[in-house]
Amino acid sequence: MLSSAVCSFMLMKLGVNSGFSATNCVLASPAVLRRQEFLIRCLQSYSNQGDQKKLQEVKAMGEPNLEAAAENILRAITPTLDPSKHKGQAGKIAVIGGCREYTGAPYFAAITALKIGADLSHVFCTKDAAPVIKSYSPEIIVHPILEESYSVRDEDKKSILDKVLAEVDKWMERFDCLVVGPGLGRDPFLLDCVSEIMKHARQSNVPIVVDGDGLFLVTNCLDLVSGYPLAVLTPNVNEYKRLVQKVLRCEVNDDDAIGQLLSLAQQIGGVTILRKGKCDLITDGETVTSVSIYGSPRRCGGQGDILSGSVAVFTSWARQLVSSSDRNTSISPRNPTMLGCIAASTLLRKAASHAFNVKKRSTLTTDIIEYLGRSLDDISPVS
Residues 229-288 that bind its own copies (CB under 8 A): 236-237, 278
Phi-psi region of 198 (alpha: psi -120 to 50; beta: other; left: phi over 0): alpha
Instruction: Looking at 145-291, list the stretches that DSSP marks H as alpha helix, in order from N- to C-terminal side.
Output: 157-172, 188-203, 213-220, 237-248, 257-267
Does residue number 327 form part of the binding site for its own copies (CB under 8 A)? no
> Is 107 among the annotated ligand-binding positions?
no
Residue 269 vs 373, nearer CB to its own copies:
373
- Residue 272 β-bridge partners: 232
Does residue number 298 form part of the binding site for its own copies (CB under 8 A)? yes
> Is 75 among the annotated ligand-binding positions?
no
Segment near its own copies (CB under 8 A), from 188-196, 329-337, 340-348, 369-377?
369-377
- Residue 122 β-bridge partners: 94, 141
Residue 172 vs 222, nearer CB to its own copies:
172
Residue 189 vs 240, nearer CB to its own copies:
240
Cβ pair 342, 325 in contact under 8 A: no
> Is 247 among the annotated ligand-binding positions?
no
Would you give the distance in Å from CA 17 to the centre of its chain? 24
Q: Which of residues 42-61 bind its own copies (CB under 8 A)?
A: 42
Does residue number 207 form part of the binding site for its own copies (CB under 8 A)? no
Q: Which of residues 65-94 bind its own copies (CB under 8 A)?
A: 78, 81-90
Cβ pair 194, 211 in contact under 8 A: no
Q: Which of residues 89-148 bind its own copies (CB under 8 A)?
A: 89-90, 100-105, 107-108, 114-120, 128, 131-132, 134-144
Does residue number 359 form part of the binding site for its own copies (CB under 8 A)? yes
> Is 62 among the annotated ligand-binding positions?
no
> Is 104 among the annotated ligand-binding positions?
no
Residue 200 vs 374, nearer CB to its own copies:
374
Q: Mind giving me the DSSP string for 77-127?
A: HSPPP-TT--TTTT-EEEEE---SS--HHHHHHHHHHHHHT-SEEEEEEET
Of 181, 207, 270, 295, the one binding its own copies (CB under 8 A) is 295
Q: In the complex, what is the shortest distance from the CB of residue 378 to its own copies, in angstroms, rounded to a whole number?
A: 10
> Is 85 among the annotated ligand-binding positions?
no
By C-alpha distance, which of 112, 305, 102, 272 is closest to 190?
Answer: 102
Q: In the complex, what is the shortest distance from the CB of residue 370 to its own copies, in angstroms, rounded to a whole number?
A: 9
CA pair distance 378, 383, nearest whole angstrom: 12
| Peptide linkage before 336 cis (omega within 30 of 0) | no
Residue 287 vs 375, nearer CB to its own copies:
375
Contacts of 241 (CB under 8 A, 6+ apart): 251, 252
By C-alpha distance, which of 267, 268, 269, 289 is closest to 280?
Answer: 289
Q: In the complex, what is the shortest distance from the CB of residue 291 to its own copies, in angstroms, rounded to a whole number?
A: 13
Contacts of 377 (CB under 8 A, 6+ apart): none
Of 26, 68, 221, 250, the one binding its own copies (CB under 8 A) is 26
Q: What are phi and psi of 304, to 5 degrees?
A: -65, -30
Please work out the total of residues on this chain that contact its own copies, with binding judged by CB under 8 A.
74
Residue 161 vs 222, nearer CB to its own copies:
161
Residue 63 vs 254, nearer CB to its own copies:
254
Does residue number 173 form part of the binding site for its own copies (CB under 8 A)? no
What sign results for the dihedral spanned by CA atoms 121, 278, 365, 237? Answer: positive
Residue 6 vs 61, nearer CB to its own copies:
6
Annotated binding site: 183, 236-242, 276-280, 295-305
Binding residue ranges for ATP: 276-280, 295-304
